[in-house]
Structure 1
Amino acid sequence: MNFLNHELKTANKIGVSKTHKIICILAFSLIFSMGYSQRGKIRQASKEYDNLAYLKTSEILLEVAENGFTSVDLLQKLANSFYFNNQMKDAAKWYGELMKMDVDGIDPEYYFRYAQSLKSIENYDESDKWMKKFAAEDRSDLRGRAFSSTVDYLSMIDEASREFEVYNLDINSEVSDFGSTQYKDQLIFASSRGGGKKYKWNEQPYLDLFSANKQDDGSYDNVTKLDSDINTKYHESTVAFTPDDQVMYFTRNNYYNKKYRNSEDGTNRLKLFKATLNDNGNWDDIEPVHFNSDEYSVAHPTVNVQGTKMYFASDMNGTLGKSDIFEVDINEDGSLGDPVNLGASVNTEGHETFPFINSEGDLYLSSNGFSGLGGLDVFVIRDFENKRALNQPMSLENVGRPINSPMDDFGYYENLGTKEGFFTSNRDGGKGDDDIYSFTIPECEQVLEGTVKDKETMELLSGAVVTLFDGEGNQLQQMTVGSDGSYKFEGLACEMEFLVRGEKETYASDEKRFTTPKKKQKLEIELLLEKDVVALEPCADLAKILDIPIIYFDFDKYDIRYDAEVELQKVLAVMNKYPTITIDVRSHTDCRGPASYNERLSDNRAQSTRQYLIDKGVAAERLTAKGYGESRLVNDCGCEPTNDSSCSEAEHQLNRRSEFIVTSINGQKCPEN
């Protein structure tokens, strides 16, 4: 690619091609964030409990925690109950309490959930801290790796690749053609086909700007050189227009008012020029932009759809590598502000060049500083302008095949309105040096489908409500599943983050985050809901319902320890919530040790447990208590007559248990009592 080649071979070059051609090329990179924010408020299922016969365990856990009695297990379950119901403020509160406990070996998923809940309340700094901890804990997790900007680039490129055709335009010549931009019904591009003085570096004529008219069938023809005020005997290339089509920015050698100027080291640099459309439809009032210099190059402009920003490539002072991407404000009066380097999160020590900003604020560029297929590859940062304005993390993605190849691929341009796309490549099979390729932007919609099931029984849950949200937590679609438990959502956009949630009364919600791929396909996600409401009936064991395996005491003692008090607070909450319930407290041991000792010790512990609840306000007549020692083993781990057993410690543990049996509720008694 001539103009961009020699220009920086003899001018401190703005880009490098794989075939030793230096191309005025500049691109960028930003940091990705898998993390997303859920701000929408979701309807939470509720149920009127008939005759106080239902117990919602999450309510009990909240009451216990708010009374100051906490444990790791309790806080995990409580925070999760809010997280999965999208009550992020409360989730952040209780995950925060969990993190204060500083427990070793905690599942790193809790760091991730905490980070996401913090984002929902706009505490981004704290969220980033926990995302970093999450990434450090499990470096294989894609979310953490994305946050840390560490990727398996080949597999990522394969994922990004899409199946569509690219076409070598008929207007390409045997020399260099590149850098296409649309202007009304024309395609504007640079080419060496113009004849005239040849460029010594490649023996092709200097580059000029040309236009080609769009035909009824969508092809381009009738190639014409732009007027002589724009084109000179030196290089012109890469054009950008303001949204009103009245102003054009373009790249040219340092040649103005018929004066050709070199830098102190004898290099003729690249500069940006501005032209204005006059009443006769011609470009005039050509002038250089104020930040040009004889000592560095400025090239390859692109203007955003609002006409407020221009992005370009340069190797000016402060550039991090061979060339960087810069931005500059376009003021209301048409003047330009001062350039700003997009910084280390965007630019590398290599070449970043040929920026293009599309109508949605996605920033495309070419680079050899990031891992790619070879030479210059085209990359994109989705939603770049919004994320930059909000100072949010960004991710740079390789756009994959067929745009990229083992050769140089650059000069990306797309029109989302007409679904037309263009790029330049010197890949094998072309007509000349660099050729312009076109493609139709493929439609890409996903179908999401799946089933909702009971997690324990795997029974299909008819009547469950399934809701689809975008990555920000905004509700998009919702449906109630039928008897087959299935749901289906159509029309999901590609390369977007979504969340799907299943809900049903008496169940805890389940949700899955996912990002749609770049290839059109069906996605299947199964939602598994756990029972959150348990029927309270005579003979029910609150220990099983509230997950209380045993009330622990210190060795040979029966005073209430703090960890036992946390568990007893759960029982106390039930007793207070349902005043008709009566409970029999039962304490059991394993077979080891003398039977008489085990019976006496377990009875003392059962009585201590009963007294604790009485001291907390439960009427004594609602509580009975008894220790059973080793007389009611739940397995074959008996020790008689040798007072020994071949059972494992885990098997003995099953016999060391506490029971809180509902002896009556609402006047209905347990038959065994």
Structure 2
Amino acid sequence: MKNLYSTLFILFIGLAAFGQSAEIKKADKLFVQRAYIDAADAYEDVVDKDQHVLQNLGDAYFFTNQMENAAETYRTLFLRHAEITAPEYQFRFAHALRATGNQEEADKYMSAYTGEDVDYEDFARKLDTAVPHVYTTNQVMSNSSSADFGIAFYGDRIAFASTRNQERPIYPWNKKPTLDLYSAEISDDGELSDIVLFSDEINTDLHESSATFSEDGQVMYFDRTSEDRVKNEEGIRVAHIKIFRAEMVDGQWSNIEALPFTSDEYSTEHPSLSADGSKLYFASDMPGSEGSFDIYVVAINEDGTYGEPENLGTGVNTAHREQFPYIDQKGVLYFTSDGHQGFGNLDVYRTEGDFSEVQNLGNTVNSGHDDFAFVIDEENQKGYLASNRRGTDNLYVFTREDYVPPVVEYDDRETNPETGRQQLRDVGNIYFAFDKSNILPEAEITLNKVVAIMNKYPDLEIEIGSHADSRGSNPYNMALSERRAASTLEYIVSQGISRDRLTSKGYGETVPIVDCEAETINCTKAQFALNRRSEFTIMNDENAMDSEEMEDE
């Protein structure tokens, strides 16, 4: 009888192991097919989760934006198998922790991954002093539970990608229909209306997304998944993404063809056309990329041919994902990345000039989740982006404003310690937005008081001394301060004060109110703002102004 029990026990253990092995094989097959929701369900049924199961289960959660589940699974993975787990899981674990608000633990794993000290609080504090704009963001309302993203300006309408077409095949990754392109009207408060599918020439049973249009609306570039699947390095058959071009002919989108530098072997995606139509920016994982996806630009020749795609380099591109480029009317490039330091997962960045340096747009745009597909109308300071911060990809509308420094109250006048002369203070100082020299409405109130004082004391002569904060090079800050002094002088002259009674001088960053070092950025945004100012110094005999009467002003 004892031998019988032993035999039955061994048989039971063997059957259980066989059953678990079958469950893992089923889950692995779904994972390889990128059916991540179904794969996660299958891995959850595995009783004894080994390293392999925990890695794939964490990834399945991560790739479907189930960040709390991802963080919990990765934590178990590292508690049990930290010494033999690949660094890429540190990277994903850190981003999952960012999304759930656990910044201290995220810093630990991101520091281990990068080999550098990563301090989220320090990053956020420094960025708060450097970002010149504040964004007010609201979700676009469309009465849809679908995933929507990727708005493009399309004449007086917008174009966007959506999974709302229930007649399309279900995509195994997220169990939603494949993407189609739509156009719509959008109100100032972000309400979508008159939502219309693009024609069947554009939309198919494959994914279509990320449209961009020429200024006249006659040419369109967009993404479409390739019909052919090819094996990647892991032996998995993958359908890559290609950029297509279409022309408007007699009111219909026609002559639709893939661009010549696309391929079945890699993806090209997320096109953005420059305002003059001469350059196309896009993302790709083509050979020679720095990471999983990089930002590229290609010249569009006058004869309709294309140059060779050029990688934008390591100032923009990292070993991770850079996607969703958008080139605005002024040549500023916005893009999305999870490789630069940010608030977690995909953040929106900007760069211009030679694209050698990038700047995170700050926490009024970015969250701990994926924030991407940013576009802006520079003239109206209004734009759109997509984010999955509420669980699924949704569209958001934003307005953008320059950061306006606070009004700071001072005594009426003081003695300048360097010149020994009296100067007007706030009746006196005015302040400027970051990197700007125009007179703000708030400053006009102070300047009108200066005008009133100069009218009351007709012998009074004033020097306008203007200043910059410490961000930027010394020559640039000197020129900026001189522009600020000049615009201040011109405003006072426009109010009837003789130009002969005024002089202007720029001091650059040499005479700060608050000593801020640009390299360490050790000041708050408000402290930097105090240094962006114009001061008013009394240049002739101080008896030109009776002190008691001035106090009354």
User: TM class, shorter-chain normalised?
Assistant: 0.5 to 0.7
Shift of 1:21: 2.0
Alpha-carbon distance between aligned partners in 1 of 2:314 and 2:384, rounded to the nearest angstrom: 28
1:343 is displaced (CA, Å) by: 1.2
Structure 1, gaps ≥5 residues long: 1-5, 11-15, 24-150, 532-673
- Per-residue CA deviations over 1:216-268 (Å, capped at 9, x if unaligned) read 8763212111100101101111011122211100001013xxxx343564211
- What displacement does 1:185 show? 1.9
Q: TM-score, normalised by structure 2?
A: 0.57
**Aligned mates of 1:377, 1:318 — CA distance in 2:** 24
Percent of pairs with identical residues: 32
Partner of 2:241: 270
Distance 1:237 1:8, change over 3 A: farther
Could you tell me which of 416, 434, 447 is aligned with 2:393? Answer: 434
Contact 2:324 2:335 in 1 (8 A): yes
Higher normalized contact order (CA 8 Å, seq sep 6+, divided by chain length): 1
The match for 2:360 among 394, 398, 412 is: 398
Which whole-Å CA distance do the structure 2 matches of 1:414 and 1:17 have between them? 33
State the match for 1:414 in structure 2.
376
Question: What whole-Å deviation, never above 9, does each CA across 1:615-656 have from its counterpart, x for those lacking one?
Answer: xxxxxxxxxxxxxxxxxxxxxxxxxxxxxxxxxxxxxxxxxx
Given the superposition, is the C-alpha separation of residues 235 and 375 from structure 1 closer, same or farther in structure 2, using an over 3 Å criterion?
same
What do you get for the CA RMSD once the two structures are aligned? 4.9
Distance 1:203-1:8 versus aligned 2 partners, 3 A rule = closer
CA distance in 2, matches of 1:207, 1:506: 62
User: Residues 250 and 526 of structure 1: is their aligned pair in 2 closer, same or farther, counting only changes over 3 Å?
Assistant: closer
| Higher-helix-fraction structure | 2
Contact 2:221 2:271 in 1 (8 A): yes
218, 221, 244: which one pairs with 1:246? 218
> CA–CA distance in 2 between the matches of 1:282 and 1:162?
40
Q: 2:172 aligns with which of 189, 200, 222?
A: 200
> C-alpha distance in 1, partners of 2:63/2:204?
23
CA displacement at 1:156 relative to structure 2: 3.1
Distance 1:487 1:177 in 2: 52
Residue 196 (structure 2) aligned to one of 224, 233, 237: 224
Q: Alignment partner of 1:512: what SS?
A: coil
The one-letter code matched in structure 1 to 2:151 is S
For residues 369 and 430 of structure 2, what CA distance do their matches in structure 1 show?
Answer: 45
- Equivalenced residues, count: 375
Task: Please give the alpha-carbon distance, in whole angstroms, between the structure 2 residues aligned to 1:509 and 1:454.
Answer: 16
Counterpart for residue 20 of structure 1: 62
Change (3 A) 1:426 1:321: same
Letter in 1 for 2:255: D
Change (3 A) 1:398 1:507: closer
1:319 correspondence with 2:289: yes
Q: Which ranges in structure 2 are unaligned for 5 or more consecutive residues? A: 1-30, 36-57, 66-120, 441-446, 455-459, 487-500, 513-517, 540-553
One-letter code aligned to 2:153:
Q
1:34: which partner in 2? none
Tell whether the 8 Å contact from 2:402 to 2:433 is kept in structure 1 after alignment: no
Contact 1:310 1:330 in 2 (8 A): yes
SS in 1 for 2:128: helix
CA contact (8 A) 2:463 2:502 kept: no
Matched-pair contact (CA < 8 Å) for 2:328–2:376: yes
2:339 equivalent in structure 1:
369
Which residue of structure 1 lines up, in the alignment, with residue 140 of structure 2? 169
- Counterpart in the other structure of 2:258: 288
SS class of match (2:230): coil
User: 1:116-142 deviations in whole A, cap 9, x for unaligned?
Assistant: xxxxxxxxxxxxxxxxxxxxxxxxxxx
Structure 1 pair 508/520, CA: closer, same or farther in 2 (3 Å)?
closer
Distance across 1 between alignment mates of 2:336 and 2:379:
23
1:67-114: CA deviation from partner (whole Å, max 9, x where unpaired): xxxxxxxxxxxxxxxxxxxxxxxxxxxxxxxxxxxxxxxxxxxxxxxx
SS in 2 for 1:327: strand
What do residues 23-61 of structure 1 show as CA deviations (whole Å, max 9, x unaligned)?
Answer: 9xxxxxxxxxxxxxxxxxxxxxxxxxxxxxxxxxxxxxx
Asked if the contact 1:249–1:301 (Cα under 8 Å) also holds between the matched residues in 2, the reply is yes
Question: Is the partner of 2:217 in helix, strand or coil?
Answer: coil
- What's the TM-score, normalizing by structure 1? 0.48
**Structure 2 vs 1, CA of residues 22 and 308 (structure 1 numbering), >3 Å: closer, same or farther?**
farther
Cα distance in 1, alignment partners of residues 503 and 335 from structure 2: 51
Tell me if structure 2 keeps the 8 A contact 1:366–1:411.
yes
**Secondary structure in 1 aligned to 2:276?**
coil
**In the alignment, which of 162, 186, 211 is matched to residue 183 of structure 2?**
211
Give the direction of change, closer, same or farther, for the CA distance of 1:215–1:438 in structure 2 (3 Å limit): closer
Cα 1:520–1:288 shift into 2, 3 Å:
farther
